[in-house]
Amino acid sequence: MHDDRARMSYEMNHQQLADTHHPTTENEQPLQSACLLPCPAPQVEISKSLLSSVAMLRLLLF
């Protein structure tokens, strides 16, 4: 059960990340396509955002 909740919120966070890095015209695309598109932002920024959202998830779930 925890895994499902974690996965859903992770995907939501990832979609928000993708939305911030891509023009609004691409927001209609499914999550997988958004992940495959190259983001203009440096990889380090994305990693930091993912790490912080994972940390938040850990606080919420555990």
Determine the pLDDT at residue 17.
Answer: 58
Cα angle 59, 20, 60 (rounded to 5 degrees) comes to 10
Q: At what angle do helices 43-61 and 2-21 cross, to 10 degrees?
A: 150
Q: How far apart are the first and last CA of the chain?
A: 13
Q: What is the pLDDT of residue 50?
A: 81
Supply the range of the domain harboring residue 42: 2-60
pTM of the model: 0.27
| Tally of domains in the chain | 1
| 12 close to 24: Cβ distance less than 8 angstroms | no
pLDDT in tens, 12-58: 666 665 555 544 444 444 444 455 555 555 566 667 888 888 888 88
Mean local confidence (pLDDT), 2-12: 68
Quickly list H helices, the chain.
Answer: 2-21, 31-36, 43-61
